[in-house]
């Protein structure tokens, strides 16, 4: 049976102008959109209608002052929101469309109109804090979509998995004190933004519902597979999410200029396979991905192609990818030390 897969894409996301030398440039999406057309994937998916997020939807995650700060960049050239986060005359509009269109994709998946989907948007979001733009991110798209699903659709449990090479500090902080969202992150550490150590596990009602797996540089397919297979899968099965949202960053790719990791196309295909199987098993296939980082422009497009083919059912799901490097078990043991009391299903 053909899979109904949605994609968010549009020219407005190219109009967030960060400058020719900035790694988070419009060229990322030009390459990805070109790949969709060249491979015929564009003909297999439904393009989701774009819409802007409302002020109220943004304010579920961000402060009024932050909203106004991003709004204030409209029509202005050369604005920098922090040292590496530029904004241009159309950035506010692009950011509203990124967050709102991800909500629309999420709505379509939850309603059954679509089986799954991928929001190929920019600016990215997972570093954006309640009152601060940072790390190339203006509004926290995934956090906003999760908050919308909890509030408007009455969901009680949303799993957010984040495989960007940088820790999603903004997403973590958005849900740090609630059990309604489980935030799971793999990321290089120590690395920007400096958060995401093992002992950051949540607090109050959220204690145990933040799971960080900080990784040393140079990790590749087998190491990421080990983490997601041995840590995420048992925790997700215990949590039983009603929706799975993915912050999909491709800067762990071996050719990425910023990441310092060794993931390949096959490794990302394996991660996609894990998410698809979990969604099918736990929440009627309700899986939504949103683009975060990834600065090897052509490489990121190839990795996204591998995930898209599996969402569409056009390629086989990838089995386990072999043994991680010697000594990697210490990472898994450290995760277990901090989380076994919350998740007895962890057998590490």
Query: Would you name the residues annotated as active-site residues?
Result: 127
What whole-number distance in Å separates Cα of residue 130 and Cα of residue 42? Answer: 35
Rounded to 10 degrees, the C-alpha dihedral 132/151/304/237 comes to 120
Number of helical H runs and strand E runs in the chain: 12, 10
Structural element, H or E, at residue 308: helix 297-311
Pairing of strands 181-188, 158-162: parallel
Nearest Cα neighbor of 8 from 126, 100, 137, 112 is 100
The radius of gyration computed from the CA coordinates of the chain, to the nearest angstrom, equals 18
Rounded to whole angstroms, the Cα distance separating 327 from 345 reads 23
Closest CA to 122 of 44, 41, 18: 18
Tokens of 118: 């991928």
Burial class (CB in 10 A: 0-12, 13-18, 19+), 178: middle
Tokens (6 digits) for 82: 């922090």
- Tokens standing for 25? 């440039």
8 Å CB contact between 73 and 87: yes
3-class secondary structure, 184: strand
The two three-digit tokens of residue 322, written as one number: 């072999």
Structure tokens belonging to residue 181:
């969202």
Which has the closest alpha carbon to 51: 119, 149, 134, 130? 119
Beta strands at 85-87 and 79-82: parallel, antiparallel or unpaired:
antiparallel
């Amino acid at each position: 049976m053909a899979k109904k897969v949605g994609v968010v894409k549009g020219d407005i996301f190219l109009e967030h102008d960060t400058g020719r030398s900035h790694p988070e440039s419009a060229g990322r999406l030009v390459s990805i959109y070109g790949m969709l057309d060249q491979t015929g994937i564009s003909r297999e998916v439904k393009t989701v209608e774009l819409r802007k997020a409302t002020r109220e939807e943004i304010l579920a995650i961000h402060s009024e002052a932050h909203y106004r700060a991003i709004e204030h960049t409209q029509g202005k050239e050369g604005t920098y929101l922090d040292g590496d986060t530029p904004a241009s005359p159309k950035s506010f509009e692009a950011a509203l469309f990124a967050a709102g269109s991800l909500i629309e994709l999420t709505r379509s998946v939850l309603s059954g109109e679509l089986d799954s989907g991928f929001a190929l948007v920019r600016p990215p979001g997972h570093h954006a804090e309640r009152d601060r733009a940072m790390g190339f991110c203006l509004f926290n798209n995934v956090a906003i979509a999760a908050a919308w699903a909890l509030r408007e659709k009455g969901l009680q449990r949303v799993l957010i998995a984040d495989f960007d090479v940088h820790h999603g500090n903004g997403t973590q902080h958005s849900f740090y004190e609630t059990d309604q969202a489980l935030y799971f992150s793999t990321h290089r550490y120590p690395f920007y933004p400096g958060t995401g150590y093992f002992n950051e596990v949540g607090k109050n009602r959220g204690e145990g519902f933040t799971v960080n797996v900080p990784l040393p540089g140079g990790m590749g397919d087998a190491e990421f597979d080990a983490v997601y297979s041995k840590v995420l899968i048992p925790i997700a099965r215990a949590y039983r999410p009603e929706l799975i949202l993915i912050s999909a960053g491709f800067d762990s790719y071996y050719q990425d200029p910023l990441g310092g990791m060794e993931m390949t196309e096959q490794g990302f295909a394996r991660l996609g396979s894990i998410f698809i199987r979990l969604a099918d098993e736990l929440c009627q296939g309700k899986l939504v991905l949103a683009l975060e980082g990834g600065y090897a422009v052509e490489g990121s497009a190839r990795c996204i192609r591998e995930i898209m083919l599996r969402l569409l059912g056009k390629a086989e799901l990838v089995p386990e990818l072999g043994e991680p490097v010697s000594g990697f078990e210490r990472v898994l043991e450290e995760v277990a030390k901090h989380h076994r009391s919350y998740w007895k299903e962890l057998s590490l």
